[in-house]
Chains A and B, each alone.
Chain A
Amino acid sequence: MIQVRQILPNLPAFALAFALGLSACAAPPPARPAEQQPAPPAEPIKIGALYGVTGGMSSIDAPGLNGMKLAAKQINAAGGLLGRQIELIAIDGKTDQTATTNAASEMINVHKVVAIGGLNDSTFALAAGPIAQKAGIPFVTAGATLPTLPEQIGDYFFMAPFGDDAQAYAIADYAIDDMGAKTAYMLVDQAYDFTTALAKFFKERFTSRGGSIVLEDIYRSGDTDFSAQIAKVKALNPQPDVLFISAVPSEAGITTKQFREAGLTAPIISGDGFDTPLIAEVAGEDADDVFYSTHAGLDNPDPKVQAFVKAYTEEYGRPPENAFAALGYDTLNLIADAIKRAGSAEPKAIRDALAATKGFNAITGQITYMEGQRKPDKTVSIIKVQDGKYSFVKEIKP
């Protein structure tokens, strides 16, 4: 009897371990739900959609995935590509480097995708990109803007967005030309590639055009109290003309709120890290006089932008959350365009067609890859936030 009693407490543990072991061995490649289409005669073309749908990147990655899905649905409704339907293989990268690389590898090796799109942050693109490069699968990043990504990763890596250099130059030009700013304060998140690069390019342009940086301060993503930094700004005399905050979406709202609550009224400027509903949600009424450069203004009167906004609203019951939805949409259309021009769904042919993209009309501006470059020259949109409302100001070609 004693023996049985000793074993009993362990039984659930064994059962669990055993069941897991079994399911690990027996799990078949899962059946993916087709994109609610009747079964097409030919094999679908599989394209990977790699985003960190949960975790820190979700506020910009989830809209991106929705944008990609919308594009796939529209293409399929119009008869597909080369007579075949598109099947999106969307796997959550969980805003984690290990999970993101596993997901990229799963798409390529298990699901046999012919191309991958997605990811809005360079840290993750640098980890996932080389896997696609090694396997010879074209990878189009939807929103990672580190300008050196294509050279660092290789000839199968393409950028749908402009580089950080372009967006930083654009907001610096706007501050000088349209706001008449001469002095700027800089607050830089030290935890990300993106934020440090953006700050570097902003400083380069702002000072080379005669502006001066009166104070440069730092914080780290995850900080919630900016009172020390704010005290240093308040001690400045005279006050700077603009406050440049190089942040990722998670800190966009909270910095705006704390700076405004402290009584600092100078315009706040930033890059596409500020392109998040969080500014209005967190800062509320304090979200005033915020300007940022990003990929697309969704109230841009351009008919193709408005058609996208309408389709997105019909599909998801809400307007696009930010420009990353448009970038996701553009990314899939860019890949589809390359497949169409290549007349083939072979990864090598898609890569060559992508590299030859000329004047592709995307929601976020025309995409052309110059000879040997895989980073497009695009226009940059400036957005203003006033009373918690986001409005398109103008497009700038830096």
Chain B
Amino acid sequence: MVFRGAQEELSQFRLGLMQGLSIFLGYLPAAVAFGVLGASTGFSHFQVAAMSIWVYAGASQFMALNLYQSGVSAPEIILATFVLNLRHVLMSTVLSKRIQGNRALRCLLSYGITDETFVLTTISSSMGPGSEEAGREITAARFAGVAIIAYSGWVIGSILGTVFADILPQLAMKSMGISLYAMFIALLIPSMKKSGRVAVVALLGAAINWMLLSELKLSAGWSVVTATIVASACGGAFCYKGGDQ
């Protein structure tokens, strides 16, 4: 019994690694770009690596370099980072209801929450590819697999970027820019086919985000989180007890 449990965990972990490979491929070029920029901003290689290891927040890290270079003080940069990352409260709340496992483990796993690991683990199934059953529950082992490979992509890419500015040819860097979006779309299409409401909520999220960005000129961070809250509230309001998913 114990043995079977361990087997199960291992296969969930492997599934997570496989699914997370798509995030790895997406983070790698972005992280290389961060490393290159960091090294040219006057951060040592070690400091660039330390930031990716400890902060692990893509957009905030780019912003921090930018602000630091313009002479903005550290407390102000930290405050801006805090605001930009508040959206993770929402994602972590959703995950706290769905990741199984004890609290210590879940606290550790929460370090791996990013926009990408959040949508990947909540939308893809724990049952493996081709499964119809998109279970609500996310096994800790699968989340760990996704989180670890995504994190490695970010950290390895950052280090490579500081050392070899041209580790990835320009063509590869640019075309890999599509990776995360291809992953998002690959998650979206099957869920839209399954449920009409999912399709409406996702389209609404996209439409609101677009409007906030182009009309109200909101920053990308605020615009995504506002669109997410509004669109999901609309979806929730029209969701009946026992309705689809």
Q: Do A and B bind each other?
A: no
